[in-house]
Structure 1
Amino acid sequence: MGRTGDAAAGFVATLQKRFADLGLPADALSVLDETSIGARDRRAAFVAVFFGHPGATDAAHPVLKDLVADSVVIFPVVDDLARFTADIPAALHAYNGLATDPADPGAERLAGLVLEALRLLRASRRLFVSYKRSEARGAAIQVYETMDARTFDTFLDTHSIKPGEPFQDELWHRLADTDVMILLDTPGFRESRWTREELARANATNLQILQVLWPRPPIPAAAEEMQREVEKQAAFSRFLQLGPDDFETAQMVGPEARLRDATLERIAVAAESLRARALAARNAYLVDTFCKRARAQKLAPVVQSRLIALARPDGPPLTVVPAVGVPDARLYQQISEEFPPSGGGEPPPLWLLYDERGIRDAWLAHLAFLSRHVPIRAVPVIDSDAALREI
């Protein structure tokens, strides 16, 4: 948005290269101009960049008001920070700006900030394999081994739960810490209560779902239409249709059915391509949900690249750090190091914002313990109203 020219073109070219470096397909990135932003897919992760220009006003860029209201992360970019208020519309004056650098014509720094806002830099690479044992046990193990070889932390119920652990509680806990679900959609997948629940929970928590569709015999038109309606309910999904040639033998359904190596590679590449979108979509849910609740209590949250700033009537502003997945002690350490006390004084007020759905009670108690002993408060987003009322 804003000024077009060499700076904007260089940034887009660099961002495309960084997406390619991450192994993402070219169509994973869509670059929109101001005239097409209103028609964007609101289920997809979205970040805005505004290149400042002399005399920029809100009236000349009306889309900014909607983006701010939607809690979209926006990066204002100017040639000289001293001219920030002159070259950036008033709607963005509360946002931190970034100056262009002649030594960085490709805007590598800006591209890096955008990738961080899209949560492409999360160190963990977590997947969840959902399948029906009687129809796809062998294929599920193949997928597990393939993704493990690609350094993914892959959850497979028969391999990932220790003896003595409460099976279903641990399964939901791991699903809460997953970025992408690989759903092996065999003909009887939805006949199982548990696989249906896994799919429903994945949709409810904004996971990306790679739906690997098994070959099916022809079905009546009415049943086919009903099936399409069911598929539409699986939001945030990508579909990968299999055919008979994707299997090692004529057996396509059953515990011993096996996929060809080339098919497993297709599944792996498709799952990799969804990871960035999954992280960003889940982060967007945290930010948008929290900001709506804060505004409902007459507070004014400001969304920045990796945090939400929240002014308080008394004392310094509150820094809220959204955390995708299940928070742990290492995350507390990272946040503490990223926001250290200034001048050796008291640490800044910090909240760690997370989605509590599916997390085991024992782990929630662990987070409560950490909050009592570390100057960071863990705040569940769905129950954030109580914490906001204390401000």
Structure 2
Amino acid sequence: MAASHHRSLPVLVLILSLLLLAAAVGPAVSEANSTVFWPEKEMRKYRRARAHLKRLNKPPVKTIESPDGDLIDCVLSHLQPAFDHPKLKGSRPLDLPERPRGHAPDGTATTGHDFQLWRTSGESCPEGSVPIRRTKEEDILRASSAKRFGRKPIATTRLDSESDDHEFDHSLVPCNSHDRQHAVGYVVGDQYYGAKASINVWAPKVTSPSEFSLSQIWIISGSFGTDLNTIEAGWQVSPQLYGDSSPRFFTYWTSDAYQATGCYNLLCSGFIQTNNMIAIGAAISPVSKPTGGQFDISLLVWKDPNHGNWWLELGSGKLVGYWPSFLFSHLSEHASMVQFGGEVVNSRPMGEHTSTQMGSGRFAGEGFGQASYFRNLQVVDWDNSLVPVPNLRVLADHPGCYNIQGGINAVWGNYFYYGGPGRDDDNDDSCS
């Protein structure tokens, strides 16, 4: 009898395991025909994600696997996502633009073609193609919806380019819980046709998947109501967008204050890439280390006076691509503000300020080797000439969490240190 009892134990365990598995899986099962019924909402989400993947991922002529797991597809230049736009169908990338006068590659910047992980093996895409980080299903499913995938959250804290006192406007955008916080240097009050800076790269801690930390240049025009135009480029850590905590080279644009237009990188019809060795959205390596080597990237964004498109250059004269002028309303003419600096999303986890770091996670006062920096700040004027930034102002909207200190010297020109830890044990009373 005892032996029979022991033999029945594995059967009982198996039955219990199957019952628990059925309870955990979730979809309903019809006893009549054993058909599985997935919840309609989930089915719609998966269908939209797959449809979006089909639109984004173009057939590659070659695929390169990065050491971090990214797949880099080499796509024929005229088949990249930008050319899905009705105004670009059937066209091809433009010839080289006219560079700004006074422009000399930053000889002290450490950016080469091999500053990204996917290029550590020395591979690149063939001429006539561009490298595009492949979007995976899980990337889209991490977003709030397929429609919002690849877009920034609408800002609830912002620096208004048309305000009289140029202070932060703390009015809220309805129906959005994300608070974007900044430590920036900026110029306003003139017509700007581009900007240049060198930015050192770090790997700040981002504590919530829905938050990000970035450092970038903003080219801005319009108001912060519904017609804001921006062009943005820099580096960012965004677990929701990329699925990890690596700093990545990125671009962004919007023509309606982040509402319905624009996106990161090549995740919509917009930016036209021309470079076959730089993958927008790919991880940057190496990064800066405290009291160790400082790694920075040099970025130049400017409006080509011949065709009116906004071009992006990285490092020592490497053209990445351009934003067509027709994407914008105000920026089809010029910018009214340029910003340089850091931004984080504060989702207020547990009702407290986030501990997501900006820059290196250290305050500006800690200086070189500890704090993040922007150096050699310049703007492009009406004559397509690069000039030192005039009357740079610095501003941090939550200085107890993230701050900024500017300066000028013969080597770095206009520069500033910026960043901070957000909320931590040492500054939990002053950061809110």
Q: Considering the TM-score relative to the shorter chain, is it more than 0.5?
A: no
- Higher RCO (CA 8 Å, separation ≥ 6 residues): 2
State the structure with more CA Rg. Answer: 2
State the TM-score, normalized to the length of structure 2.
Answer: 0.24
Q: More helix per residue: 1 or 2?
A: 1
